[in-house]
Amino acid sequence: MDRSHPSFPVFCSQGRRKMAPTHVLRCCQRGLAWIPVIFIALVVCWSYYAYVVELCLFTIPSILEKVVYLAVFHVSFIMFVWSYWKTIFTRPSTPSKEFCLPKSEKEQYEKEQRPETQQEILKRVATSLPLYTRTGAGAIRYCDRCQVIKPDRCHHCSACDMCVLKMDHHCPWVNNCVGFSNYKFFILFLTYSLVYCLFIAASVLQYFIKFWTSDLPESHAKFHVLFLFFVAAMFCISILSLFTYHLWLVGKNRSTIEAFRAPVFRNGPDKNGFSLGFSKNIAQVFGDQKLYWLLPVFTSQGDGFSFPTRLVTVDPEQPTECLQPGGLDKGAVEGSAEQTTPLSESQNRLLGKDYHIEEDHKETHILKSDESEAITISIESES
Catalytic machinery residues: 171
Cα separation, 355 vs 167, whole angstroms: 26
Q: Bridge partners of 375?
A: 323, 368
Query: What angle, rounded to 10 degrees, do the helices at 221-252 and 183-212 form?
Result: 150
Cα separation, 142 vs 140, whole angstroms: 6
Single-letter code of the amino acid located at 28: C
Q: Which residues neighbour 25 within 8 Å (Cβ) at sequence distance 6 or greater? A: none
Residue 247 burial by Cβ neighbours in a 10 Å radius (0-12, 13-18, 19+): middle
Task: Give start and end residues of each alpha helix (H) in the chain.
Answer: 8-32, 35-49, 63-89, 103-111, 115-126, 183-212, 221-252, 256-260, 278-286, 330-334, 345-351
Contact 87, 176 (CB under 8 A): yes
Closest CA to 305 of 158, 166, 135: 166
